[in-house]
Amino acid sequence: MKYNIAVVGATGMVGRKFLQVLEERNLPADRYYLFASARSAGKEIDFMGKKYDVLELTEECFKGKDIHIALFSAGGGTSLHFAPIAAAAGAVVIDNSSAWRMDPEVPLIVPEVNPQDIKMYKNKGIIANPNCSTIQAVVALKPLHDLYKIKRIVYSTYQSVSGAGMKGFTDLERGIRGEPPEKFPWPIFGNCLPHIDVFLENGYTREESKMIEETRKIMGDYSLRITATAVRVPVFYGHSESINVEFAKDFDLAELKAALEKAPGVIVVDDPKNNRYPMPIDAQDKDEVFVGRIRRDESVASGVNLWVVADNIRKGAATNAVQIAQELIRQWEA
Ligand code: A2P
C-alpha cells in the first residue's frame, strides 16, 4: 500500500526539515502535497527530485485528495483550526504544535518510549509530537525509569534559537551584525534569556510547564515530581539539557551507563579524560540523542546527573514526527 502525505507549514523551519527527513527515510508514499499560508502559495520547492508548488492551506484544501497522513508545523492556531478539518477529511494528523498535546484523547508520542499509545489516534484523528526539549529528555530517561523508577527530575535547559522558528534564528544573525532583536524581548547574541514562551501565573514559563506535563504524559506516570528552568542561549541548532534525576531504587553506575548505551536512539559520549562530552555542534544534523557527563548525584541516596544534547529541529521536531508516521504505517500494516 502507498500513502498520500501532506506537509502543512512546508516553508517553515520545521516544515523544510520534514521534507528533508521524508526524502532520507523514503516512506512508502504515492503523492505528496505541500501547504503553507497564502503568502507562499505558488512558490516552488524542490523535493524528491521534483518541483512542487506550495498550495494555500484552506478549509477545502484536503477535500478529494485522499490524504492518509498530514504532518503539521504551522503554529498552534493553525493546528487548532485545521487539524480537525484534515482529520474529518480522512487524514491522520501528526501535529508539531503544542495545541493538542495535553488533550486526553490525543496521544503524545516518542516512538522509542510509548509507541503503544499511537492507537489512541482513533479518537480524534490527531497524534501530537511533543515539545523539542521533552523529546530528547524522555528518550534518555525512559530506560532509567524502567530500571530504577524515577521519583524526581530537575531539568535545566540551554536551548538554541532555531527552536523559536525562522524569526528566532534571524534574531541571532541580526545580533551578530549589531542589529536589535525582532523576535525575542532582549538581544540573544552574547546573552542568555531565562524566558521561553510566555510567563504563567505561577512564575514558570509555558516551556517549563510543557516539559513537566508532557514528560508525565509520555512516560505514563503522573506521580513523577518534576521541576524545570528553560533558557534560550546563543546557539543556532541543538538543545542541551542538564538533567538531575532521583530514583526510588539503588543503581550501579556502570549498569546505568550500559543501559543508556543499549537504549534505542541514544548515543553515549562520556570520556572526560579526553574532553569528550555531547555538544550541540556535534549533534547538529543527527537523529540521535547524545548523553554524557553521567555521574552520581552525591547529595541524595540514589541520584544521577546527565547532560543530554540533540538537534531540536530533527529529533526534537521533524525526525520524531516522521518516525511517528513510520510507526503508524507499521502498525497499520501489521
Ligand atoms: P508561510 O511561509 O507561508 O508564512 P516558522 O515556524 O519557521 O516560522 O514556520 C511557520 C510555517 O507555518 C511556515 O511554513 C508558514 O507559512 C506556516 N504558516 C503560518 N501561518 C499559517 C497559516 N495561517 N496557514 C498556513 N500556514 C501557515
Specify the residue with its C-alpha closest to ligand 1, atom 21. 37
pLDDT digits (tens, 9 = 90+) for 189-235: 999 999 999 999 999 999 999 999 999 999 999 999 999 999 999 99
As a whole number of Å, the end-to-end CA separation of the chain is 12
Read off the pTM.
Answer: 0.97
Pocket flag, ligand 1, residue 165 (CB < 6 Å)? yes
Q: Which grid coordinates belong to 291? A: 548523553
Specify the residue with its C-alpha closest to ligand 1, atom 2. 11
Specify the residue with its C-alpha closest to ligand 1, atom 15. 9
Sequence-ordered strand ranges (E) for the chain = 3-8, 29-36, 44-47, 50-53, 55-56, 69-72, 92-95, 126-128, 150-159, 225-232, 239-247, 266-268, 289-296, 303-310
Compute the distance between CA of residue 98 and CA of residue 133 in angstroms, rounded to an integer: 12
Pocket flag, ligand 1, residue 13 (CB < 6 Å)? yes
Specify the residue with its C-alpha closest to ligand 1, atom 3. 37
Kind and range of the H or E element at 11?
A: none
Domain 133-312 coded CATH 3.40.30.10: no
> What architecture is domain 3-130+317-333?
3-Layer(aba) Sandwich (3.40)
Question: Could you tell me the distance, in angstroms and rounded to a whole number, from the CA of residue 40 to the centre of ligand 1?
Answer: 8
pLDDT at 296: 98
Pocket flag, ligand 1, residue 187 (CB < 6 Å)? no
Question: Could you tell me the distance, in angstroms and rounded to a whole number, from the CA of residue 101 to the centre of ligand 1?
Answer: 19
Cβ pair 245, 299 in contact under 8 A: no
pLDDT at 262: 98
Which ligand 1 atom is the nearest neighbour of the CA of 11? 14
Question: Could you tell me the distance, in angstroms and rounded to a whole number, from the CA of residue 72 to the centre of ligand 1?
Answer: 10
Pocket flag, ligand 1, residue 318 (CB < 6 Å)? no
Compute the distance between CA of residue 212 and CA of residue 102 in angstroms, rounded to an integer: 11
Question: Could you tell me the distance, in angstroms and rounded to a whole number, from the CA of residue 165 to the centre of ligand 1?
Answer: 10
Tell me the catalytic residues.
132, 239
Pocket flag, ligand 1, residue 9 (CB < 6 Å)? yes
Query: Could you read off the pLDDT tens digit of each residue along the chain, which spans 334 residues?
Result: 999 999 999 999 999 999 999 999 999 999 999 999 999 999 999 999 999 999 999 999 999 999 999 999 999 999 999 999 999 999 999 999 999 999 999 999 999 999 999 999 999 999 999 999 999 999 999 999 999 999 999 999 999 999 999 999 999 999 999 999 999 999 999 999 999 999 999 999 999 999 999 999 999 999 999 999 999 999 999 999 999 999 999 999 999 999 999 999 999 999 999 999 999 999 999 999 999 999 999 999 999 999 999 999 999 999 999 999 999 999 999 9
The 8 Å CB, 24+ separation contacts for 166-175 are 166/12, 166/13, 168/232, 169/13, 169/236, 172/234, 172/236, 175/234
Pocket flag, ligand 1, residue 168 (CB < 6 Å)? no
Cβ pair 278, 260 in contact under 8 A: no
Sequence spans of domains, the chain: 3-130+317-333, 133-312
Question: Could you tell me the distance, in angstroms and rounded to a whole number, from the CA of residue 74 to the centre of ligand 1?
Answer: 5
Which ligand 1 atom is the nearest neighbour of the CA of 8? 26
